[in-house]
DNA sequence: AGAAATTTGTCCGTATGTATC
DNA sequence: AGATACATACGGACAAATTTC
């Protein structure tokens, strides 16, 4: 039964409940959460929904998950600081074509180019910065 | 915002983007694509849409999907014949981190970064130049 | 050292309800 | 009205890492 989710989706309610248990000490720091399959039975939800709930806890750094082992309550849990760096990093600007870019894109040196900047993250850390240069004409590149 | 696909459906645009990444070598042959759920987050699309995009790539034999494992870029994919422009453009070099990159990657200004350059082509024309910056990491992984 | 059990990761197919073009 | 897309949810299966016996 996919239950109509009018107010709050189930995975969020489950995530809240798990967070409460951690913060209240029912599940001590540094210990493993019950297995996904066990939680699925307890909450009468599918494993996918449980995983979604746990994913939200992982995003705020409350737990860490290891393949084949389990989901561990982060012992370093003090205050989670969501990282706004992703949003800041994402931006678009116009730059003048330097010789190499100009040659590749077949425009004159100094022509206006669109530079899109994005970052790829891993484990909430910036892993790489990607800059894409296009001719001002067609942003999507789709003809 | 459930859609604003001008002209082309979302799943096709995503398929095009993935194909570009494969053809430009951002996703090497023989490696796994990010999980459907990861792509869903990156493209801000639902899993269903991602699956639809991947399905089109599978139809043209660009990738193969294995149940429980992932979607693999077909190593036998030979349709991609790099033209001379690609070869010239593709290169790697080391650059000094300018302030913005340094801040994002959390290194000191002037630190050595790896810059990979690639081009994406369409109809034998260079469409965009992509530059990826990574920290020069040591092989052992230890500090 | 090796087999079995446990657990997470991923994919498959399907379904419901809503919203937009 | 139909096509597209979104978010949510289910259940089942296989793959891979880890732990236990």
Residue A68 has pLDDT above 90, yes or no: yes
**Average pLDDT value for chain A:** 76
Contacts of A39 by beta carbon, 8 Å cutoff, 6+ apart = A14, A18, A33, A45, A50
Query: What pLDDT, on a 0 to 100 scale, did the predictor assign at position A54?
Result: 92
pLDDT tens string B61-83:
678 777 777 887 776 554 443 44
Highest mean pLDDT among A110-114, A123-127, B2-6: A110-114
Query: What pLDDT, on a 0 to 100 scale, did the predictor assign at position A140?
Result: 35
Query: What pLDDT, on a 0 to 100 scale, did the predictor assign at position A35?
Result: 92
Residue B14 Cβ under 7 A from any strand D atom:
no
Taking only residues 67 to 96 of chain B, the set having a beta carbon closer than 8 angstroms to any beta carbon of chain A reads 85, 89
Flag if B106 and A119 touch (Cβ within 8 Å). no
Lowest mean pLDDT of A48-52, A93-97, B103-107, B133-137, name the range.
B133-137
pTM: 0.45
Which has the higher per-residue pLDDT, A66 or B44?
Answer: A66
Question: What are the helix (H) ranges across A1-143?
Answer: 10-23, 36-42, 47-59, 85-89, 99-105
Query: What pLDDT, on a 0 to 100 scale, did the predictor assign at position B82?
Result: 43
The 3-class secondary structure across A38-54, one letter per residue, is HHHHHCCCCHHHHHHHH
CA B27, CA B71: separation in Å to the nearest integer? Answer: 12
CA B129, CA B119: separation in Å to the nearest integer? Answer: 4
Contacts of A41 by beta carbon, 8 Å cutoff, 6+ apart = none
- Domains defined for chain A, CATH in brackets: 10-73 (1.10.10.10), 87-135 (no CATH)
Interface test with A, best of B68, B85, B102, B126 (most A CBs within 10 A): B126
Residue A19 has pLDDT above 70, yes or no: yes
Query: What pLDDT, on a 0 to 100 scale, did the predictor assign at position B31?
Result: 77
Which has the higher per-residue pLDDT, B86 or A68?
Answer: A68
- The mean pLDDT value for B119-137 works out to 69
CA A116, CA B130: separation in Å to the nearest integer? Answer: 9
Calculate what percentage of chain A has a pLDDT beyond 90. Answer: 17
């Amino acid at each position: 039964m996919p239950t109509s989710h009018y107010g709050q989706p189930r995975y969020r309610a489950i995530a809240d409940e798990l967070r409460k248990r951690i913060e209240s000490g029912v599940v001590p720091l540094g210990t493993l959460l019950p297995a996904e399959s066990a939680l699925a039975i307890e909450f009468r939800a599918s494993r996918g929904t449980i995983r979604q709930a746990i994913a939200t806890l992982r995003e705020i750094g409350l737990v860490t998950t290891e393949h084949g082992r389990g989901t561990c309550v982060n012992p370093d849990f003090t205050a989670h600081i969501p990282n706004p760096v992703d949003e800041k990093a994402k931006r678009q600007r116009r730059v003048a074509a330097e010789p190499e870019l100009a040659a590749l894109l077949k425009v004159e040196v100094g022509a206006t180019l669109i530079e899109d900047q994005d970052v790829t993250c891993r484990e909430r850390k910036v892993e790489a910065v990607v800059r894409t240069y296009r001719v001002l004409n067609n942003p999507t590149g789709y003809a």
